Amino acid sequence: MSDLLVNIAFPSSALRQLFTYRINPENKLPVLSGQRVVAPLRNTPTIGFVAETGIAAPENIKLKTIIEIIDPEPLIPEDLFRFLIKLSNYYLAPLGKTLSAAIPSEYQIQKHRQIFIIDPRTDSIPKPYLQLFAKISSADSIPLSSLKRQFDKETLVRGIEILKKLNRVNEAPRFSAPQHRPLTQKRILLADNFVATRPDVQNLKKHANRQWEILEFLQTNPAISQQDFNKFSLSAIKTLVKKQLITVNETEISDDVFWKDILLKEKTVLLTDEQNLVTEEIAQHIGLDRFAPYLIQGVTGSGKTEVYLKLIRKTLAMNKSALVLVPEITLTTHLASRFRGEFKDTIAIWHSHLSGTQRNILWKKIRDGLYPIVIGARSAVLLPIQHLGLIIIDEEQDGSFKQRDQEPRYHARDAALMRAVECRAVVVMGSATPSLESLYNAAIGKFQKLELKKRYSEAPSATIEIIDMKAEWKTTGDFENPISRLLNEKIAEKLDRNEQILLLQNRRGYSNVILCPDCGWTPKCRNCDISLTYHKNAATLLCHYCNLVQQPPTVCPNCQSSKFLYPGFGTQRVETCLQEAFPNHKIVRLDVDSTLKRGFSQRVMREFEAGHIDIILGTQMIAKGLDFPNVTLVGVLNADIGLFMPDFRARERVFHLLYQVAGRAGRGKIQGEVFIQSFNPQDITIRFAMQQNIAKFTALELNERNPINYPPFSRLAAILFSGLNEIQVKEAAETCTHYLKQHNKKLEILGPAPAPISRIKNRYRYLSIIKSRKDADSNGTQLRRALKSFLASSVHQSQSRQVRISIDIDPMDLL
């Protein structure tokens, strides 16, 4: 009767193993992998995924029976399921966690505690709980959550406890999927017959400012969405509706709200010879049901997007679907506009600003094959797209492709490669600055590398110059100014000519620290081993790791001095300086803080394109993907940020950042200029970035990494131990490291040592790093075997539960 046994994966980090259950023999339908079920786990009904069917009965073990089968058919399609199993194995993430990461959280069944009456008598119930009992008696059963709304916590907890003891009520879990109402949203649009030049409309400009504001906004934006209504005068809206100049309509919120705010960019494109060669080479492999990985290294502005579009056309023609992974969709509006212009509503966009409901709707539509093209950030690689023929990963070197804080800790590029192997698809990784891993893989023949060496535009590449900030400060004595005289002059010059400017300062906030000039004291986070950042707008100190917010001190707690210095510049401080220097120009800041608001970055992109913004100042989020022909100047205010981080990829990241941001200048007809300010103008990374010399930088970096066994020559695993008690953490780390060293003497193991950030949110952190040379362990099998063996070992089982161990395969940073 083995076909009545199944293995279940539960979505919990603590449960790595699968559990075997019996299926109720009365169940007539087949049970398949990828279905969700409710099964008793340590006597509690728990939701899990069917992972394996047709299991042979283990001996001498009494098996429990599945309580309920939730999905009539598998929620996760078969090929996606097979890929997720591989993903879970590669990243050593529990299968249940991996499967549950692939379904939208809104889709996930919730467990409720349901209270029901077993005996309606009211005698001997203490008075304070009679009302609670009456409420429960009023229905057959009632969810605990609805009681929470009516009774205070203490009455409820104590009451239920007493009622249970008296055998009057009992409780049982219930499972239900969250219900999704189709939501509607109001939008204001210009009337169809609106004419801006009509005299009565022009009149409003002079005499009815509030009405004109609305009309003006609508002439550059497609609509005013409901959440923005309050930015305008309600009575002005009403008057304009009466005058039939605008209309208010109600639309169902669908999955494509993003597109509504995006300009469609249609253009007829004739590929250049070079673009054609690359396209042809790849296109011949599409639709052949064979895995084929390509790396396109194309200088910024060489037209990678156009190549992608052609390849997708071919994919559709072969009746296959395509997936495009991009680092940050809300800033790649140029890319999104081009894709939308080309493919209209056959393309779905999967991005972080979707609401839960939208995600849910979209996920189902994608699974049902309604969209042959999907573009999205990291997690789009887990979408249930059917018949995948092509996966494109744009800016494959980008760090945001790595999921860091949650299992599975996958890299979307590597996950895409695994998925493409599984569904026999073509993979195209594109970048101006490929990661060293990908360059290495191309060198050893794992990927085929193709190059686009020419920029499309007629203008010659931008000129790049380094400005020595040490010398600048020495000469001017003005340490309060982040902008050198030369850069300042250049900004003024471009503004005069109505050209646009991008400025990069890769640090958010105002000043990175507050410093007491008398004793050197600076405020640190009490939970984390890190300085607090001063945010001027809110006049607060913020911890960028745990979000602790604190009022800045008025006197130094150490020496009572009342004067403070604000050394170091964050984007907020630079913004203030810029506004003082160029008061008549529109400057917008783009960083994590300013883009929290939904739709903000899209609006900025649109206004920048329309020429309403002169300068964008931002963190690394502005370095990639922006394609604005009127940008003729790019300034990097401090190229040294990040250069000296304790991480072997620090230089690579700085190089990529500088190279990419320089590529934003001069994409139109006018040649661009780039100025890089640095306190280390002789630094080799900065110099190679200035020369845009990828080959030299790569050679230098590879030479440094090879002898010390860092990627791309090895595979890494970072094991992070964390807990509230430092001694326990250290002990756990030592035990584990000792085990691994004994298990496989060939692995190189560093640590354990306190992590560079040795405490976050009060948890002490120790780090061990395992390196396994690829020439001896090409697939990382030995590395994984050692870790798996440890996880299954009695040494690990008997370790303190107070210490959390998280494993990161191919970590992107070691902090």
Minimum CB separation of residue 197 from ligand ADP in Å reads 31
Which residue spans within 396-514 are E strands per DSSP?
A: 426-431, 448-452, 463-468, 500-504
The answer to whether 812 and 405 have CB atoms below 8 angstroms apart is no
| CB closer to ligand ADP out of 268 and 584 | 268
Subset of 10-49 contacting Zn ion (CB under 5 A): none
Give the other-Cβ count within 10 Å of 311's Cβ. 24
Partner whose footprint covers residue 139, from ligand ADP, Zn ion, none (CB < 5 to 8 Å by kind)? none
User: To the nearest 5 percent, what fractions of the chain are helix, strand and coil?
Assistant: 35, 25, 40
CA angle, 553 then 558 then 564, to 5°: 45
* Candidate segments 37-45, 110-118, 426-434, 535-543, binder of Zn ion by CB under 5 A: 535-543
Which among 621, 639, 623 is positioned nearest to 631, based on CA atoms?
623
In the complex with Zn ion, which residue's Cβ is closer, 357 or 533? 533
Q: How far is 492 from 626, CA to CA, in rounded Å?
A: 22
Q: Contact between 277 and ligand ADP (CB under 6 A)?
A: no
Site string for ligand ADP, 52-91 (x = CB under 6 A): ----------------------------------------
Q: State the minimum distance, in angstroms, from the CB of residue 653 to Zn ion.
A: 23
| Binding at 750: pick from ligand ADP, Zn ion, none (beta carbon under 5-8 Å per type) | none
Report the residue from 255, 256, 274, 306 that binds ligand ADP according to the rule CB under 6 A. Answer: 306
What are residue 108's phi and psi, to 5 degrees?
Answer: -75, 135
Rounded Cα gap, residues 20 and 38, in angstroms:
13
C-alpha of 254 from chain center: 22
665: three-class secondary structure by DSSP: coil
Residues 554-613 that bind Zn ion (CB under 5 A): 556, 558-559, 561
Sign of the torsion formed by the C-alpha atoms of 590, 594, 596 and 601: negative
Q: Which is nearer to Zn ion, 261 or 518 (CB)?
A: 518
Answer with the entry of Zn ion, ligand ADP, none that 355 interacts with (C-beta below 5 to 8 A by kind). none
Residue closer to Zn ion by CB (options 150, 562) is 562
In the set 272, 448, 680, 725, which binds ligand ADP (CB under 6 A)? 272
**Of 59 and 458, which has the nearer Cβ to ligand ADP?**
458
If one asks whether residue 539 binds Zn ion (CB under 5 A), the answer comes out as no
The least distance separating ligand ADP from the CB of residue 307, rounded to whole angstroms, comes to: 8
Q: Does 672 bind ligand ADP (CB under 6 A)?
A: no
Determine the Cα angle at 374 with ends 602 and 389, to 5°: 150
Residue 373 Cβ, how far from ligand ADP at the closest point, in Å? 17
User: Is the bond into 408 cis (omega within 30 degrees of 0)?
Assistant: yes
527, 693, 744, 806: which one contacts Zn ion (CB under 5 A)? 527
Member of 114, 300, 505, 677 binding ligand ADP (CB under 6 A): 300
In this chain, which of 63, 269, 421, 581 binds ligand ADP, going by CB under 6 A?
Answer: 269
- Interface with ligand ADP (CB under 6 A), residue from 88, 98, 275, 403: 275
Residue by residue, DSSP assigns 390-419 as EEEEETTT-GGGB--SSSS--BHHHHHHHH
| Closest distance to ligand ADP from the beta carbon of 692 (Å) | 13
Of the candidates 301, 635, 672, 723, which one interacts with ligand ADP according to CB under 6 A? Answer: 301
Cβ–Cβ under 8 Å, residues 426 and 392: no
Stretch that binds ligand ADP, among 193-201, 239-247, 269-277, 781-789 (CB under 6 A): 269-277
Taking the complex as a whole, the smallest distance from the CB of residue 670 to ligand ADP amounts, in Å, to: 14
Angstrom distance (rounded) from CA 282 to CA 313: 12
| Residue 303 binding ligand ADP, by CB under 6 A | yes
Q: Is 293 in the site for ligand ADP (CB under 6 A)?
A: no
Cβ atoms within 10 Å of 457's Cβ, excluding its own: 18
| From candidates 6, 115, 503, 528, binder to Zn ion by CB under 5 A | 528
Q: Tell me, what DSSP letter sits at residue 565? A: B
Residues 674 and 623: their CA atoms lie apart, in Å, by 13
* Nearest residue (beta carbon) to ligand ADP: 303
Among 349, 375, 515, 516, which residue sits at the site for Zn ion (rule: CB under 5 A)?
Answer: 516
Contacts of 313 (CB under 8 A, 6+ apart): none
For Zn ion, the closer CB: 326 or 514: 514
Interface of this chain with ligand ADP, residues 428 to 487, rule: CB under 6 A? 456
| Nearest residue to 781 via CA among 744, 734, 742 | 744
Q: Which of 545, 566, 648, 739 binds Zn ion (CB under 5 A)?
A: 545
Q: Which is nearer to ligand ADP, 281 or 704 (CB)?
A: 281
Applying CB under 6 A, among 298, 408, 434, 712 the residue interacting with ligand ADP is 298
Q: Given phi > 0 = left and psi -120 to 50 = alpha, else beta, which region is 599?
A: left
Strands (DSSP E) contained in 272-346 are: 292-298, 321-325
Q: Calculate the alpha carbon distances from 589 to 272, 510, 616, 638 in Å.
A: 36, 12, 6, 16
Nearer to ligand ADP, 159 or 301 (CB): 301
Residue 242 neighbours by CB distance under 10 Å = 9
Cα separation, 546 vs 765, in Å, equals: 14
Cα–Cα dist 105/102, whole Å: 9
**What part of residues 602-661 is at the interface with ligand ADP (CB under 6 A)?**
627
The rounded distance, in Å, linking the Cα atoms of 212 and 761 is 50
The listed partner (Zn ion, ligand ADP, none) that binds 556, CB under 5 to 8 Å by sort, is Zn ion
Chain residues that interact with ligand ADP, rule: CB under 6 A: 269-272, 275, 298, 300-306, 456, 627
Chain residues that interact with Zn ion, rule: CB under 5 A: 516, 518-519, 521, 525, 527-528, 543, 545-546, 548, 556, 558-559, 561
